[in-house]
Structure 1
Amino acid sequence: MAQRYENIMVAVDGSKEADLAFIKGVHSALRNQAKLTIAHVIDTRALQSISTFDAEVYEELQVEANDLMAEYEKRAKDAGLTDIKVVIEMGNPKTLLAKTIPDKEKVDLILVGATGLNAFERLLVGSSSEYILRHTSVDLLVVRDKDKTL
């Protein structure tokens, strides 16, 4: 029996790897006649360590996220998708992308770009895709840049 996905979520951040995941997500949604949920998380963890932050920083990040997501949504529509949901959240990307957003949106497949971090960096900060793999309850596709050398 062939697996058919109904709601595919792709996590985007503007990086090349996320863009590759987006392209595969669009193609998967077209093949499955599925809804495409495009998710972006504004990582506020770094901002919490700044002792004097300005509300304008959050507003600027929100404007940038809105612009980024409008471009992704346009590209998805141009590719022929009609059932598209855009989600922008603030917080910890790992937990939001692994559980919160997929549960809320009833996602059954997540696509993310590979982080490209080396082993030492993974020890320090951890890999979002690895965290999602360990904590999500749905299928996960980690998209790698085949042209990137390790």
Structure 2
Amino acid sequence: MIQKYENIMVAVDGSREADLAFVKGINSALRNQARLTIAHVIDTRALQSVSTFDAEVYEELQAEAKKLMANYEEKARAAGLSDIVTIIEMGNPKTLLATDIPDANGVDLILVGATGLTAFERLLIGSSSEYILRHTKVDLLVVRDKDKTM
């Protein structure tokens, strides 16, 4: 039986690994004639420790995210996709990408770039892709940079 995906989500953050996942996401969406959902999560966990927080920082992060997403959407359209959804959320990337965004948008495949964390860093903070793998209800493809050694 051949699996046909209808809504493919790619998690992007501007990193090389996310860009590789994005390219695979475009190709998968084209092959499956699927919607491409491009998701970016602004990680606010680090910002919560700042006691006096200026709203201007949030606005700057939002503006940067909108620019990033416009660039990804333009590339997806240039590749031939027309059914594209972009999502910018603020919060914990792990939970938003694993369950919240996929559940709310009917995603059936998630693509993420592999993390560049060392084994010790994964032990301390855990990788997003590992968290998503353990908690998502849909298929997950972790895209690795073949040129990078861990």
Q: TM-score range by the shorter chain?
A: over 0.9
- Is it true that 1:18 corresponds to 2:18 in the alignment? yes
Provide the rounded CA distance (Å) in 2 between the counterparts of 1:125 and 1:17. 19
- Is it true that 1:50 corresponds to 2:58 in the alignment? no
Provide the rounded CA distance (Å) in 2 between the counterparts of 1:31 and 1:43. 32
1:70-149 equivalences under 5 Å are 70-149=70-149
One-letter amino acid matched to 1:26: I
Q: TM-score, normalised by structure 1?
A: 0.99
Could you list the runs of 5+ residues in structure 2 that have no partner in the other structure?
A: none
One-letter amino acid matched to 1:120: F
Deviations 1:7-47 (A, max 9, x none): 00000000000000000000000000000000000000000
Identity of aligned residues (%): 81
Ranges of 4+ aligned residues in structure 1 off by more than 6 Å? none
In the alignment of these two chains, the number of paired residues is 150
Shift of 1:133: 0.1
One-letter amino acid matched to 2:112: V
Provide the rounded CA distance (Å) in 2 between the counterparts of 1:36 and 1:145. 21
Q: Which residue is equivalent to 2:30?
A: 30
Three-state SS of the structure 1 residue aligned to 2:53 is coil
Q: Once superposed, what is the RMSD of the aligned Cα atoms?
A: 0.4
